[in-house]
Structures are given as C-alpha cells and as structure tokens.
C-alpha cells in the first residue's frame, strides 16, 4: 500500500499524511488518507500535487506488513 506525505505548513518542516477531510452533520471532521496499490493512480496523484506544492514537498511511502516470530528460551539453567 502506498501513501503520500506532504509538507502543507508554511515552515515546511513537518511531513503530514496526505488525504481528504470531510465534515459530518455533527461538525466532526473525518480524515481519509490517500492509499493505493495502483501505480498509475499514484502517478496521477503525484503529478497533480507536484504542480501545486512542488516535488521537494512530496514523499511517497510504502507500507510493508510483516510478521515476527519470537522464541524465548530459558538459558539460566545451571548444569
């Protein structure tokens, strides 16, 4: 899964997750991050953001899921 980080703020020192926000009838704001596995969709979105913010203010990150198996052994046994 690919996400986009972007520098929105004026100081341009903080990377923020890019996505869309919407308000509900109860005045609660909902944020939906941009996520895709489709490289063509990602390229199109990056092109739009590049024109608006510049390439130096955009980062693409890929989420990698993995599993870690841990084995704990009792090595304090005295012989």
Domain assignment present for residue 29? The answer is yes
What pLDDT, on a 0 to 100 scale, did the predictor assign at position 78?
61
- Is there a domain that residue 74 lies in? no
Residue 75 has pLDDT above 60, yes or no: yes
Residue 9 in any domain: the answer is yes
Cβ count near 40 (within 10 Å): 8
Q: How many domains is the chain partitioned into structurally?
A: 1
Contact 2, 36 (CB under 8 A): yes
Q: Which of 67, 42, 71, 46 is closest to 56 using CA atoms?
A: 46
Would residue 79 count as lying in a domain? no
* pLDDT single digits (tens) 12-47: 678 999 999 887 777 888 889 999 999 999 999 999
Domain that holds residue 10: 2-62
Report yes or no on 16 lying in a domain. yes
Considering the domain boundaries, does residue 22 fall inside one? Answer: yes
pTM of structure: 0.72
Distance CA(73)–CA(57), nearest Å, equals: 47
Identify the pLDDT of residue 73: 82
Q: Is residue 72 part of a domain?
A: no
């Amino acid at each position: 899964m690919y996400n986009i980080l972007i520098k929105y703020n004026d100081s341009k020192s903080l990377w923020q997750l890019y996505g869309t926000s919407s308000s509900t009838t109860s005045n609660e704001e909902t944020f939906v991050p941009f996520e895709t596995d489709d490289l063509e969709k990602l390229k199109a979105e990056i092109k739009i953001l590049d024109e608006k913010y510049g390439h130096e203010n955009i980062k693409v990150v890929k989420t990698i899921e993995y599993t870690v198996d841990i084995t704990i052994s009792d090595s304090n046994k005295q012989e």
